[in-house]
Amino acid sequence: MASELAKEIIQMSQRQDRTSPLVLIVYSRSTRSRDIRNEQETMRITAPIEGGKLIFRISFPTQNYTPILGNNVHDNNQLADQTILDYDAENIEGAATCIEGYMSYRDKRDVMLFQVIHNGALGQFPLSRWTLEENQSGKTGSRVQTLQKILNVLLVK
């Protein structure tokens, strides 16, 4: 009887799989407003639940993407295979560090939060926007900490 109760508690505590209701988009101010919604132009971060586990999914842009994580691109006008990295939600620092590295490498400083509506389409207007500048001394520690706080926004029920 106790083992049955334990199994029932475990089943109840498991999260139901779902797509992420929100998405963070990393872009630069020079990005045209219509391109902010284009997956080929921007980094996207979501927090789906898959297999009962909450993860941070980081999708790198594909268009004109010079490889930084081992993609093989022969022509800059050709679309590369999209690089997608999944981080356990407990590894929020790893996810934030990855995003910060991309921002530094690609000179990106802005992050927008959108609601995801049906079929993965973005809501009409952003819910929030953050501008993240590097420290004047060139250290990125505080920006990683700020990104960790922003990533927490994705952790909705």
* Predicted confidence (pLDDT) per residue in 39-78, tens digit: 667 889 999 999 989 999 999 886 554 544 444 433 444 4
Q: How many CB atoms lie within 10 A of CB 106?
A: 17
Q: What is the pLDDT of residue 125?
A: 87
Q: What is the pLDDT of residue 89?
A: 92
Q: What is the pLDDT of residue 13?
A: 61
Q: pLDDT, tens digit, for every residue of 67-126?
A: 444 444 334 444 456 788 999 999 999 999 999 988 888 777 889 999 998 777 888 888
Q: Which two tokens stand for residue 72?
A: 């093989």
The answer to whether the CB of 26 falls within 8 A of the CB of 108 is yes
